Amino acid sequence: MTSSVKRSTSIVPVGIDPKGDVILVVVGTETRENSEAEQQQLLVSSSVLSFASKVMAAMFGPHFKEGQGLDSSNPPHILFPDDDPSAMTLICKLLHHQYYPDDEADLTHSLLVSLAIICNKYDCAAALQYASSFWIEPFVHLAPNKTHQELLGVTYLFDNPRMFNRVTKELLLKYEGPYINLETGFAFPCSLLPTLEAKRAVIRQCIHNRLQNLITSMVDIDSVCTGYTVRNYVSRMKSAGIWPMTSEGVYRLLDRLLDFPKRTTFYYRECPNCSNPHDHKFDDAVRDVRSEILNSVEGLCLDCINAGGRNSKVCRVKHS
């Protein structure tokens, strides 16, 4: 993971803690592949890092080479050969209370992934919980393309249950196609993708049941216009591409419900037998189905996923 750097270097360290007792020499993959690329050196406090990271606490403890000779007057150089320099710098600044809003102005998706990897590698998710939410937030509402899919892995590596819940909700609503095809680039508990698939199936069944119940409510009305009303309703659903339900994404299907009146060739008319404006009433009912489904959909619980099912302890995000 790390090793001591015995030789001196002419590179001036970034003084994140001017009284720090160790210098982290961060040499990322690009630096190792390009000898001309500069490594990043960070003057930090081993105590601060140890409080935030269990891995660092062990590393700088008495039983490892890295914990020997820590001295603010002559800080040793410790090599970190596989970590992204920009991400490590940002995390060290934050843990030392030297992080400013401008520091994340150029936060790219690739940097966000690197931050998550380092967080997971050094077990400092608790210390970065609020910061990780702040970093992830701007990416949550992107379309569920490959970048958005990788957010699933990012929230998992950050061990951030609130953002994991939000990202999985977005995927449940907007992702089209089998979840087994998700290209996240990360390893997850084996229950995650089947749970997403099962939950989406439940959402689609709820939509089907609600639309079916509208037909049932029409049939239960003792009126001479029942047949006309049901026929008109089903015909309009077919014309709008809502009935029978297709395999498209949940959100796209719900959008069809929102545009139910616009996507039909039927005009508003009263029943020829009782002069009741049935079309208006059912337009509202179909739109209500959309609102109810959107309000009821919940993302997945990270704690339950980690437990392989229902978590026996109190989950960090409340859910039904």
pLDDT of residue 36: 46
| CA-closest candidate to residue 115, choices 132, 102, 139 | 132
Using the predicted structure, report yes or no on whether residue 205 has a pLDDT greater than 80: yes
pTM for this model (two decimals): 0.86
Helices 109-121 and 129-136, axial angle in degrees (round to 10): 160
Assess whether pLDDT exceeds 60 at residue 6: no
Percent of the chain with pLDDT over 90: 47
Q: What is the mean pLDDT of the chain?
A: 83
Average pLDDT over residues 253-270: 62
CA distance 49 to 60: 9
Q: At what angle do helices 146-157 and 129-136 cross, to 10 degrees?
A: 170
- Tens digit of pLDDT for each residue in 169-183? 999 998 888 998 887
pLDDT digits (tens, 9 = 90+) for 12-25: 889 999 999 999 99
For range 251-278, the mean pLDDT: 62
Closest CA relative to residue 1, chosen from 24, 35, 34: 24
CA quadruple 277, 278, 279, 285: dihedral positive or negative? positive
Specify the pLDDT at position 274: 57
Q: How far apart are CA 25 and CA 16, in angstroms?
A: 13
Least confident of 13-27, 68-82, 217-231, 237-251: 217-231
How far is residue 199 CA from its own chain's centroid? Answer: 16
Coil vs helix vs strand at 22? strand
